[in-house]
């Protein structure tokens, strides 16, 4: 059992500092060049799906259901089979789905942009309002926050819990402030903590009573089928939000997003949005001007490759087999080196792409800088908070997917060394 750093004497801290600095100098001499900054699929994950490219060739029948020629114009909101496939990911009905291009982030951006220029379902365009605010559960996804900054949306930080966002705070803001127009959610295996929303949290979301008629929940279900374990008791489940909203009398309150970016090829997947008929009809008005239609051949390729959602889930087991050892390698080092020190805590998710590490308050930036100097690149400290401002300077997002398990263990060895070194520096400064 390690001794709590906060209980060490000044002399013990000085002795530890000397030892850690020597270890750090040795580590810098190894010439590491490892990157844990973004949740990119590894080359082995991408190689695993190369036969995806063989599904369609010049001799293929490129007709979709109902003799739709996928080579031609038309089918603005996606071919029927692709709607069925993406509905399977989101556990909803195909009629609730529009299939778009390769990235759900693109749909999210367009949805916000459309709200600014044309309003949502006949409501005042956001560009004509004095103030637009979004609730931002944090730690959260930096690209959500970047969209808000791009459009000048004021972000309000909402603390995350293992059950989801602080719903008392969410309910207070949503019901009491008409300028609050949305909230970002990653409801399953959240980025970066890997938390999944409890049934109570989802039901409270569905039962919200917004002051703004055009308030929308931006439900980014990016990791809906991204389990790390095959055992049922280690796979998180969440309630289906669209049906919950309908039951609560709020059928139009949600835009749900998903994609196959971490299922097939990261840059060549298909993305979809699910929502009510009123919301989708409203979106189609702009889409008819914006595009003649998205890549239907790629949609057909996905359908032919997987068949249905069950085929996709089987494929995801292969991803899990590659990702699981990397997560476990990281978690093993964190447990062995930091457990009992009192200077760090971390999540052990059942799925998704990230581990969230909280270090001693005021040390995250220092840890990231020390790691970078020694050859390991991490997501910038503060990136998981609105305006990149982590008030405690403590959260670090770890992305285990890209390195090999051996590289992951090596990188985590350096990370924990830097966590210890930054903590000792902080404690000695007091």
Residue 361 CA to its chain's centroid (Å): 24
Cα dihedral 228, 231, 233, 239 sign: positive
Predicted local confidence at residue 38, as pLDDT: 85
Alpha helices in 29-125 (DSSP H): 43-48, 80-90, 104-118
Which domains are present in the chain? 5-45+314-429 (3.90.1150.10), 62-307 (3.40.640.10)
Cβ burial, residue 231 (10 Å; 0-12/13-18/19+): exposed
Kindly report, residue by residue over 137-150, the tens digit of the pLDDT.
Answer: 999 999 999 999 99
| Sequence-separated (6 or more) residues with CB below 8 Å from residue 76 | 284, 287, 288, 291, 292, 293
Predicted local confidence at residue 235, as pLDDT: 97
Q: Which is nearest to 140 in space by CA: 64, 201, 222, 81?
A: 222
pLDDT tens, position by position, for the chain (430 residues)?
Answer: 578 999 999 999 999 999 999 999 999 999 999 988 889 999 999 999 999 999 999 999 999 988 999 999 999 999 999 999 999 999 999 999 999 999 999 999 999 999 999 999 999 999 999 999 999 999 999 999 999 999 999 999 999 999 999 999 999 999 999 999 999 999 999 999 999 999 999 999 999 999 999 999 999 999 999 999 999 999 999 999 999 999 999 999 999 999 999 999 999 999 999 999 999 999 999 999 999 999 999 999 999 999 999 999 999 999 999 999 999 999 999 999 999 999 999 999 999 999 999 999 999 999 999 999 999 999 999 999 999 999 999 999 999 999 999 999 999 999 999 999 999 999 999 8
Q: Which is nearest to 164 in space by CA: 141, 187, 145?
A: 187
Residue 2 per-residue DSSP state: P
Query: Helix axis angle, 405-429 relative to 309-338, nearest 10°?
Result: 40
Q: 0.75 cut: is pTM over it?
A: yes
Kindly report, residue by residue over 151-209, the tens digit of the pLDDT.
Answer: 999 999 999 999 999 999 999 999 999 999 999 999 999 999 999 999 999 999 999 99
């Amino acid at each position: 059992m390690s001794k709590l750093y906060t209980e060490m004497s000044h002399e013990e801290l000085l002795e530890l500092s000397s030892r850690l600095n020597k270890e750090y100098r040795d580590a810098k001499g190894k010439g590491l060049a490892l990157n844990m900054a973004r949740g990119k699929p590894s080359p082995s994950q991408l190689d695993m799906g190369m036969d995806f490219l063989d599904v369609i060739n010049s001799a293929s029948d490129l007709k979709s259901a109902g003799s739709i020629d996928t080579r031609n114009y038309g089918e603005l909101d996606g071919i029927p089979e692709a709607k069925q496939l993406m509905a399977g990911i989101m556990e909803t009905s195909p009629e609730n789905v529009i299939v778009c291009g390769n990235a759900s982030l693109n749909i999210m951006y367009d949805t916000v942009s459309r709200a600014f220029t044309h309003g949502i379902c006949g409501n005042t365009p956001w560009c004509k309002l004095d103030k637009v605010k979004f609730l931002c559960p944090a730690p959260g996804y930096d690209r959500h926050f970047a969209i808000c900054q791009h459009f000048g949306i004021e972000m309000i930080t909402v603390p995350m819990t293992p059950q989801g966002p602080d719903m008392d705070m969410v309910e207070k803001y949503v019901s009491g402030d008409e300028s609050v127009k949305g909230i970002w959610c990653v409801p399953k295996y959240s980025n970066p903590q890997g938390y999944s929303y409890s049934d109570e949290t989802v039901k409270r979301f569905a039962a919200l009573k917004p002051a703004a008629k055009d308030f929308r929940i931006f439900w980014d279900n990016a990791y809906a089928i991204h389990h790390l374990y095959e055992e049922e008791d280690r796979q998180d489940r969440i309630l289906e939000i669209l049906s919950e909203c309908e039951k609560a009398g709020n059928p139009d309150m949600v835009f749900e997003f998903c994609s196959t970016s971490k299922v097939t090829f990261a840059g060549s997947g298909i993305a979809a949005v699910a929502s009510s008929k009123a919301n989708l009809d409203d979106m189609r008005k702009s889409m008819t001007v914006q595009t003649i239609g998205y890549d239907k051949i790629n949609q057909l390729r996905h359908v032919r490759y997987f068949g249905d959602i069950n085929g996709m889930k089987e494929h995801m087991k292969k991803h899990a087999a590659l990702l699981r050892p990397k997560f476990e390698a990281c978690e093993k080092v964190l447990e062995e080196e930091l457990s009992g020190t009192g200077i760090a805590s971390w999540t052990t998710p059942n799925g998704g792409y990230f581990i969230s590490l909280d270090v001693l308050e005021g040390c995250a930036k220092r840890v990231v800088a020390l790691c970078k100097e020694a050859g390991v690149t991490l997501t910038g400290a503060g990136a998981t908070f609105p305006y990149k401002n982590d008030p405690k300077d403590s959260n670090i997002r770890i992305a285990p997917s890209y390195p090999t398990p051996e590289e992951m263990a090596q990188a985590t060895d350096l990370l924990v060394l830097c966590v210890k070194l930054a903590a000792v520096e902080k404690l000695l400064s007091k």
